[in-house]
């Protein structure tokens, strides 16, 4: 702390005790009187799309999770099904079928809660392509399950495996690592 002494010289001193004026901060933040939520709350937690980066909790965001979520939400309105933040983020960042450029109208429909815009977006080619990929995936998943000879105990069924090469935690049904594509050891 710099001060002037009795003789007018600028002297540096330790700032003990710290003056309270340094700790006072004005934070101009508040909450609205009537909050307006973009995403609605569902009563059943199992209806949500898995949260990203929650591998410990068993929340794995992959194409299988997308397929399961869309199968569960068939009884729901399309706009209600798409009004899940984690689903929108997954669709936006999905590498298999890049949708970033086409997501604008869907995001606007979710923000405005406009079912007509959401249904128009549902009829676009990118969504139809995704539906075809999901149906092909679920068809392959069903046929691979029927040809499975290996039986897994109930304790093992919920466990993931860690790649010995890159230490990525993979889903148990994958024979190779998602990151380095090396086989399971």
Q: Is residue 132 part of a domain?
A: yes
What does pTM read for this prediction?
Answer: 0.56
What's the token pair of residue 74?
Answer: 């068939």
Q: Is residue 133 part of a domain?
A: yes
Q: What is the pLDDT of residues 115-124, one digit of tens each?
A: 999 999 999 9
Q: What is the pLDDT of residues 165-178, one digit of tens each?
A: 888 888 888 888 88
Q: What angle do CA 40, 41, 46 make, to 5 degrees?
A: 125
Of 112 and 156, which is predicted with more confidence?
112
Q: What's the confidence (pLDDT) of residue 167? A: 85
- Phi then psi for residue 177, to 5 deg, are -70, 140
Q: What's the confidence (pLDDT) of residue 91? A: 92
Q: What's the confidence (pLDDT) of residue 158? A: 57
Q: How many independent structural domains does the chain possess? A: 1
Average pLDDT, the chain: 80
Q: Is residue 136 part of a domain?
A: yes
Q: Is residue 53 part of a domain?
A: yes
Q: How confident is the model at residue 151 (pLDDT cuts 50, 70, 90)?
A: very low
Q: Is residue 159 part of a domain?
A: no
Q: Would you state the torsion angle of the CA atoms of residues 116, 44, 87, 128, taken in this order, to the nearest 10 degrees?
A: -50
Q: Is residue 106 part of a domain?
A: yes
3-class DSSP state of 170: strand
pLDDT > 90 in the chain, percent: 20
Range of the domain at 78: 45-141
Q: What is the pLDDT of residues 13-25, one digit of tens each?
A: 877 777 777 788 8
Q: Is residue 149 part of a domain?
A: no
**Contact yes or no for 5/15 (Cβ under 8 A):** no
Of 91 and 40, which is predicted with more confidence?
91
Q: What's the confidence (pLDDT) of residue 145? A: 43
């Amino acid at each position: 702390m710099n001060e002037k002494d009795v003789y007018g010289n600028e002297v540096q001193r330790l700032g003990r005790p710290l003056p309270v004026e340094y700790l006072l901060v004005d934070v101009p933040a508040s909450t609205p009187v009537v909050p307006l939520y973009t995403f609605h709350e569902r009563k059943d937690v199992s209806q949500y799309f898995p949260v990203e980066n929650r591998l410990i909790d068993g929340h794995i965001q992959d194409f299988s999770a997308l397929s399961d979520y869309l199968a569960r939400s068939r009884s729901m309105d399309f706009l209600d099904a798409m009004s899940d933040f984690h689903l929108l983020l997954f669709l936006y960042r999905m590498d298999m079928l890049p949708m970033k450029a086409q997501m604008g109208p869907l995001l606007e429909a979710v923000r405005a809660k406009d079912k007509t815009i959401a249904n128009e977006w549902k009829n676009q080619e990118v969504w139809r392509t995704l539906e075809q990929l999901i149906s092909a995936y679920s068809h392959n998943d069903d046929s691979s399950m029927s040809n499975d000879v290996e039986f897994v105990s109930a304790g093992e069924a919920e466990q993931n495996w860690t790649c010995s090469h890159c230490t990525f935690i993979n889903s148990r049904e994958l024979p190779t690592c998602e990151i380095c594509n090396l086989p399971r050891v």
